[in-house]
Structure 1
């Protein structure tokens, strides 16, 4: 069973439904199947409270049924996150879960990682849907991304401007971090070129060695997460990479990142960058390959479909497709 896209519903007027990547999950697009005959599921999160100031829903659909009848398909599994999951997390972290915000899957798709804006990261067995661990990241956690080797997950605490490395052993069901060794205080790194270092959506390259941390105020931090303590090896300023990127994926030897909106500094923004990895760890560079900053657009979410990069515009409600051989848009 292959698990691909997810959807997040926010508690906004009209209950605005937004597509979320399983690899970048704030707002994005569905991933294509590797085989037309391959079975898959669609995991959908609803951020609305299902208990007093807590909860949310997780809906799991049969992918084939949803594709055949999008408006009529019903979830095959519905999980009230204000129930068993909330009890589990309250026992582990001493506070309720609220606003399930992003969801990612491990490379082997054995586990789902849910992040809650209330500050918890939940590790769930994808087959049984049972929670295995719930960890507190502090006041907030925006996203938690699993490394390709499945040895760690990296989390972004926006509220306290912290980047956190979680050690993961899925076979042994062990998850944890050392507050002294596995937490990077990004707030201490603020300056003129990176004026607001709150992390938004960190991802790793294919090797799992380097984490690329997009910043709320613009700029980029590249951190070697295999070192202890973690080591900042390269940076870009807020002119090189605009604010609040949330979306990234590696295609071949190139890492693609975006900058987006949703914050007072950049209510709307749409930029996609190609990041050269060849000079790491000495330096890093990013080339702007497409921008819609003069339009009503917001780059939020990214996926690779073969050699093509799909970039989601959540404000424009469309997907830009980029050929990574040329880094040119094929659909404007």
Structure 2
């Protein structure tokens, strides 16, 4: 993902995926430039440097005696590299309220306030930032240079809901692929360009939406588009309609969703491949779809069931000719920490593969997978693979290590990106803890201390005084999403300083974030994703 993906991925590293990722499920990945990290090569930042954007899910609006934790809103904090590379680091972010500063008319124009900003991912050229709101189902587009809002979309409403868990930019930067989680539908926003390649619009192509359940009566509300800045000469539109009555079966004839196959097709992270042709869409109940996102409507070309891919994958990294995906804990106290390596050679629609083919090239599964904390394991020692970051060779800029974060055990497992490609166990390089330095303390209302709970992160694009860094979102004591795995004690932006060989690291800095409840007894701040954006030179 252009060194990005999401680390965010599904959301979270630098570069792209996340992510996702990163994905930071980057991304999640993510780590493509972001959320999760991604394939391809992104130039080192120009003299202008870079920024780290962090999404805080906590409500910032409607905080009253009757609603002491608020009703909607959230904060974007933007840290400039000029501050982050000082010794010591300067904690001086630009803070934007997603309601007041970015989308104040959302309730009137789309039917809901923006709420629960889950993650942020930059376009491959870092010009535009995609803000994803998991509670309200919005996708916000913000100009990365001016920090001004551009467009606000609300996803399709279906019989199972309406959300936007995470969205990802394929490497060509011409689309945004939206994971409408509870809607159980995959959607596409297309960039409109003039003959010089300049962006003149964002269009929600409703006809491209792919229902991952199918059947009549699924589509209850069409997507909505709002032009958030009529003076910027960029249009924000919806074209076509999302068709109801889409097939309930995959191209192979199997049910899209069914017990024992894919029990719950909530979209977690649609991680783009380096070719831009496909996304690897992880699912909340387990299983996975590989989708041709250039087809209209988008089309399933590869399908996996829950017996092959476990539930709740959130990180993805395309590196060295393979897609690396993770899976984490699907529920309270269940231990799950796996990493899969898939090939990339899937067909274009209308072609498709047989179910569960090709099989993952390699799988790394933790020995404690499936065990129950408090029964098979000591309480609080189950596992949760989430954010994933691709670390690159500082000389050749080629993929070198995958750093897979664990939200529950507060450590990082490291895998070398090198042969043998069919044996991840042979490529396992070790682990390091994020608690050894003690820089993660506690905050108002927290019941824990020194509990970083790393979520989605991304790789710094250039050298810093004390070595290459991973920037990562650290969760708060009152997690608003995935509460069974995400309780932390020091919400904020974490800085992992890597060793010179890039194979290990330490949590060396925490820049704390705060959002107080009505009586100021609780710090509600709940960062979910940190992503690096390259500034224009």
Normalised to the residue count of structure 2, the TM-score between the two structures is 0.54
Name the stretch that deviates more: 302-311 or 89-98. 89-98
The CA deviation string for residues 272-313 of structure 1, in whole angstroms up to 9 with x for no partner, is 100012354534321443223516221111122222222111
How many angstroms apart in 1 are the aligned matches of 2:25 and 2:284?
21
Deviation at 1:134, TM superposition (A): 0.6
Residue 82 of structure 1 aligns to a residue in which SS? helix
Aligned partners of 1:4 and 1:236: how far apart in 2?
Answer: 22
Question: By how many angstroms is 1:65 displaced?
Answer: 2.5
- Equivalent residue for 1:24, pick from 24, 27, 33: 27
Q: For residues 80-134 of structure 1, give each alpha carbon's deviation from its aligned partner in whole angstroms, at most 9, with x where no partner exists.
A: 1120323153454232101110111111111110100211000111010111111
What is the aligned counterpart of 2:336 among 266, 269, 274? 269
Match of 1:254 in 2: 322
Q: Structure 1 CA distance, aligned partners of 2:100 and 2:149?
A: 12
Matches within 5 A, 1:44-59: 44-52=54-62, 53-59=71-77
Residues 300 and 316 of structure 1: CA distance in aligned 2, closer, same or farther (over 3 Å): same
The alpha-carbon deviation at position 178 of structure 1 amounts to 3.4
Asked whether 1:303 is paired with 2:395, we answer no
- The answer to whether structure 1 residue 174 and structure 2 residue 184 are counterparts is no
1:265 Cα offset (Å): 7.9
Query: What residue is the counterpart of 2:114 in the other structure?
Result: 97
Q: 1:123 aligns with which of 141, 148, 165?
A: 141
2:128 is matched with which residue?
111
- Taking the aligned partners of 1:239 and 1:256, their CA distance within structure 2 comes to 18
Equivalent residue runs for 1:280-319 within 5 Å = 280=347, 281-282=352-353, 283-292=357-366, 294=368, 296-306=382-392, 307=399, 308-319=401-412
Partner of residue 234, structure 1: 302
* Alpha-carbon spacing, 1:267–1:22, altered in 2? closer, same or farther (3 Å): closer
- In the other structure, the counterpart of 1:323 is 416
Alignment of structure 1 residues 63-78 onto 2, 5 Å: 63-68=81-86, 73-75=91-93, 77-78=94-95
Q: CA distance change for structure 1 residues 279 and 116 in 2, over 3 Å: closer, same or farther?
A: closer
Of residues 83, 97, 116, the one that matches 1:80 is 97
| 1:148 correspondence with 2:171 | yes
1:211 and 1:5 map into 2 onto residues whose CA distance is 12
1:6 to partner: Cα distance: 9.6
CA distance in 1, matches of 2:163, 2:298: 21
Which segment is superposed worse, 151-160 or 114-123? 151-160
1-side partners of 2:301 and 2:4: how far apart? Answer: 34
Counterparts of 1:4 and 1:202 in 2: how far apart (Å)?
11
Matched, 1:186 2:251: no
Q: Show structure 1 runs of 4+ deviating over 6 A.
A: 2-7, 26-31
Are residues 83 and 329 of structure 1, via their aligned partners in 2, closer, same or farther at CA, if it must alter by over 3 Å?
same
Instruction: Give the number of aligned pairs.
Output: 317
Name the SS for the 2:106 alignment partner: helix
Distance 1:199 1:163 in 2: 7
Shift of 1:193: 1.3
Sort the Cα spacing of 1:4 and 1:196 in 2 relative to 1 into closer, same or farther, 3 A.
closer
- Map residues 198-217 of structure 1 onto 2, 5 A cutoff: 198-217=266-285
- Cα pair distance change 1:187/1:218, threshold 3 Å: same
Structure 1 unaligned runs (5+)?
8-18
Partners of 1:215 and 1:230 in 2: CA distance? 17
Provide the rounded CA distance (Å) in 2 between the counterparts of 1:73 and 1:44.
Answer: 13
Contact 2:29 2:389 in 1 (8 A): no
Q: Which has the larger radius of gyration?
A: 2
1:229: how far off? 1.9
Tell me the residue number matched to 2:446. Answer: none
TM-score scaled to structure 1, two decimals? Answer: 0.85
Whole-angstrom CA distance in 2 between matches of 1:266 and 1:221: 27
| Cα displacement (A) at 1:218 | 0.7
